[in-house]
Chains A and B, each alone.
Chain A
Amino acid sequence: MANMTMIEALRDAMDVMLSRDPKVVIFGEDVGYFGGVFRCTAGLQTKFGEERVFDTPINESAIVGLGIGMATQGMKPCVEIQFADYMYPAYDQITQEAARIRHRSNEEFSCPMVIRMPTGGGIFGGQTHSQSPEALFTHVAGLKVVQPATPYDAKGLLIASIEDPDPVIFLEPKRLYNGPFNGDHKAPSQNWKNHPLGQVPEGYYSVPLGKARIHREGEAVTIITYGTMVFVAEAAVEKAGIDAEIIDLRSLLPLDLAAIEESVRKTGRCIVLHEATKTSGLAGEIIACVQEACFYHLEAPIQRVTGWDAPYPHALEWDYFPGQDRVRRALQAVMEV
């Protein structure tokens, strides 16, 4: 067991799977020789050769479309979209092709591929390097959608995703690539190297899709979140001194409804937190599910803390990013009732 950054953990997952399964191939813009702009695939081409790890033209629809062709022919492509913001040209291929092929062919064909994409803000990336498009995928039957918050999960979930028989959208919170982030951009950056959740076993293991993780146990209120916001929630809870339970969803589709319901029944209060815009966001879906299953256990209206319904700004990034203060206010609001 060694400490790894999330980038190293993701690379390790791909390394393990390239070694185990000759059908796994990795490709995308800059991922081959250079190892990707975030260096997630650094060294893999040297180790496995360019028939296994290669650069593509700047054409996201080609990256996904080629992956579909390969996956339906029995390979296991794990492709990279350089930033989630650039998946739109591939959106048709992802949502109407990859997601549908199993169903529309009555299982004559299937499409076991992984589409990795860095997501979220907090890096001064402006409008086109900061988006959180998960709701655009969780709305699509046939896809699975995953987002890890720790290096351990990143590796285990990516291995499970590559092994999954269906297409998986693998969203990587880029603000967590190098270390956990509690939302305080003025504080010194933290590093996974010194963090217990940066511990990653060597070799093969997997973390099942569709299962949430309890990040912090608590009795007073449930905070349902994922990705970068897990650590923002943790910091807010500690500052507020409230005994909250924090659920890291890990899989956004399918959702671990059992884990969500069990926690909300226990605490009777609930906050849903994400960075993506509010309107028609995933929080709305989660709140509807909680409401359907736990209405009589609720002590207070469910709160949601999200990004605003505006494009991600460059200069006003920290006004946009749902930080500790907004989470604390929501905690106070649910606890007051």
Chain B
Amino acid sequence: MTSHIKLQFAHPPARPGDKPDFSSLEIPQAGTLPVLAHDVAAQDCIDHANSLVRVLNDAGEAVGPWAEYLALEDPDALRSGLRDMMKSRIIDMRMMNAQRQGKMSFYIQGIGEEAVGCGFQRYLRKGDMNFPTYRQQGLLIAAGYPLEKLMGQFYSNSFDPLLGRQLPTLHSAREYGYFTVSGNLGTQYVHAVGWAMANALTGQDTIAIGWIGDGSTAANDFHTALLSASSYWPPVILNVVNNQWAISTYTGVARGHGRTYAARALGYGIPAIRVDGNDYLAVLAASKWATERVRQGHGAVLIEWYTYRVGAHSSSDDPSAYRPKDEAKAWPLGDPIERLKQHLILIDEWSEARHVQAESEILAEVIEVQKRVEAAGTMLDPQPIPGASLFKGVYADTPEHIRRQRQEMGV
């Protein structure tokens, strides 16, 4: 063959057996980027979309303009943020265990990404609506969603508000601003824009928030949502949780030769910032800024949360088959719980002893709820939902053909 034309394929810097390598990442010092005006235009976000908003430095100090903007004086707020993240992690660890024991079919954990959902939730108000995927449980935990319902959903028993219809972690909690989660990636991103348009059209001052993973930004619906948000400028925040992996697929496959996911928005004329997603304070600052922007009517914005998926993709996945075993430890942005804990200890608002105590309190609470929920049936000992519920809610009114099928089933 005489052709010089060749394809290129994206590769992660390290595979199993290699030393983890994040040397090519550009991680700026904390506190270097200015705070943007709420009505900033896309062309003035180029630095923010390509760099990283960070507040906590390596020593655990909150530094720079975004720290000042956040002006968080109440340490209780940070302590409760820390507790949210710890609760999220403890639930994940216990549920993964329960899955391994065969008590539930499947589980998706968010270990390492706790700051994103737990922090973002702080700036939401009643009536705001998240359009999450399966890994945003932190939003519910920080919103104070009852743990019985959260866990009932995993066990598909009588505690499950969704009557066993959905896979674990595909929650629906309207009162808590959590839209019903679909297993089909990306679909919800457009719904967020439509919901936000409805808010604007009906004169409500609530906002909509789309959530998507880095891998799923490849889906048509990501681009559809950006295009629609760009056309109509509704009150929507479009979040991309970049946790570096889409199951086994390295993030570079979805990103291609683009530089960042945040920069994608700029092409649509949508302002965008990229944020250290393992820095709880940076998450708060960016969430505060973005929610203020859209509430003030300045239109859509995109945030890329830069983080790392520490655990397996799901309980069915084995990441040691496609990435170095100790890659998570080498992730340069650290662990969100450890970083916030370090900061709180540094400002004398926390201690190792209080941390240990908090851990045991949260663990006790989770175990207590878990026991109660498990008593209503697990996969090992199912006490399932009545069979007829399978036919309920397919339509508002049950048509005759479904009524007959119900009869045939004998329920």
Q: Please, which residues of chain B bring their CB within 8 A of the CB of A85? A: 183-184
Judge whether A34 and B394 touch: CB under 8 Å: no
Q: How many B residues face the partner with a CB closer than 8 A?
A: 50
How far is B382's CA from A145's CA once the two chains are assembled, in angstroms?
37
Shortest CB-to-CB span from A156 to chain B, Å, is: 29
A126, B183: Cβ atoms closer than 8 Å:
yes
Of the listed stretches B109-117, B246-254, B295-303, chain A binds: B246-254
For A309, the chain B residues whose CB sits under 8 A away are 394, 401-402, 405
By a CB distance below 8 angstroms, the chain A residues around B256 are 57
Stretch among A48-56, A206-214, A239-247, A294-302 lining the B interface = A48-56
Residues on the A chain within 8 Å of B321, using CB: 34
The residues of B that contact A337 with a CB separation of less than 8 Å are none
Q: How far is the CA of A315 from the CA of B390 in the complex (A)?
A: 9
Let me know if A310 is at the binding interface, CB within 8 A: yes
Chain A residues, Cβ within 8 Å of B182: 128
User: Contacts of A30 on B, CB cut-off 8 Å?
Assistant: 247-249
Assuming the contacts A308-B391, A313-B390, asked whether A319 and B247 have C-beta atoms less than 8 A apart, the reply is no
Interface pair A58/B166, CB less than 8 Å apart: no
Check A315–B254 contact: CB distance below 8 A.
no
The answer for the CA separation of A37 and B254 in the assembled complex, in Å, is 18
Q: Are A37 and B247 in contact (CB under 8 A)?
A: yes
Residue contact A314 to B387, C-beta cutoff 8 Å: no
A58 touches B185 (CB 8 A): yes
- B15 adjacent to chain A (CB < 8 Å): yes
Report the bound CA distance from A278 to B404 in whole Å: 12
Whether A279 lies near B249 (C-beta < 8 A) is no
How far, in whole Å, are A320 and B409 apart by their CA atoms in the complex?
A: 9
Complex CA–CA separation, A309 to B182 (angstroms): 19
CB <8 Å contact, A314 and B248: no
The verdict on A204 contacting chain B, using a C-beta distance below 8 Å, is: no
Contact B164 A278 (CB under 8 A): no
Q: Indicate which residue in A58, A89, A315 contacts B215 across the interface (CB closer than 8 Å).
A: A58
Q: Mark B378-398, 1 if CB is under 8 A from A, else 0.
A: 010010110101110010000
B218 touches A50 (CB 8 A): no
Question: What is the CB-to-nearest-CB distance from B325 to chain A, in angstroms, rounded to a whole number?
Answer: 15
| Interface: A191 (CB within 8 A) | no
Are the CB atoms of B394 and A57 closer together than 8 Å? Answer: no
Query: Which residues of chain A are near B218, meaning CB under 8 Å?
Result: 57-59, 62
A319 CB contact (under 8 Å) in B219, B221, B322, B387: B387
Min CB distance B128 to A, Å, is: 26
Taking the closest CB of chain B, its distance from the CB of A93, in whole angstroms, is 11
Q: Is the CB of B166 within 8 A of A126?
A: yes
Residue of B nearest to A62 (CB): B218
Bound complex: CA A161 to CA B305 (Å): 43
What are the residues of chain B within 8 A of A319 when measuring CB–CB?
387, 390, 409, 411
Tell me whether A29 is interfacial, beta carbon within 8 Å. yes
| B215–A57 touching, CB < 8 Å | yes
Nearest CB of B to A281, in Å:
12
Residues of A within 8 A of B322 (CB): 33-34
- Are A316 and B384 closer than 8 Å at their CB atoms? yes
Return the chain A residue nearest B314 by Cβ.
Answer: A37
**In whole angstroms, how far apart are the Cα atoms of A320 and B387 in the complex?**
9
A12 to B317, CA, bound (A): 23
Q: Across the interface, do A33 and B105 meet the contact criterion of CB distance under 8 Å?
A: no
A126 near B254 with CB under 8 A, answer no
A311 to B390, CA, bound (A): 8
Residue A61 at the chain B interface, CB threshold 8 Å: yes
Contact A127 B249 (CB under 8 A): no
**Contact call A311/B394, Cβ cutoff below 8 A:** yes
Beta-carbon contact of A314 and B164 below 8 Å: yes
Looking at the complex, which one of B183, B185, B379 makes contact with A129 (CB distance below 8 Å)? B183
Closest residue of chain B to A125, judged by CB?
Answer: B167
Could you say which residues of chain A place their CB within 8 Å of the CB of B7?
Answer: 51
CB interface residues, A 239-279, toward B, < 8 Å: 278-279
Question: In the complex, what's the smallest C-beta–C-beta distance from B355 to chain A, in angstroms?
Answer: 37
- Complex Cα spacing A310 to B398, Å: 11
The answer to whether B184 touches A88 (Cβ under 8 A) is yes
In the complex, which of the residues B165, B170, B394 contacts A315, with contact meaning CB atoms closer than 8 Å? Answer: B165
Contact A61 B405 (CB under 8 A): no
Contacts of B247 in A (CB 8 A): 29-30, 34, 37
Q: Are B389 and A33 in contact (CB under 8 A)?
A: no
Confirm or deny: A109 has a beta carbon within 8 angstroms of a beta carbon on chain B. Answer: no
A-B contact pairs, 8 of them (CB 8 A): A30-B248, A34-B249, A58-B215, A59-B218, A61-B220, A86-B185, A127-B165, A128-B182
Can you list the 9 inter-chain pairs with the closest CB atoms, starting with the nearest?
A: A315-B164, A128-B183, A57-B218, A34-B248, A315-B156, A126-B167, A124-B105, A59-B218, A319-B387
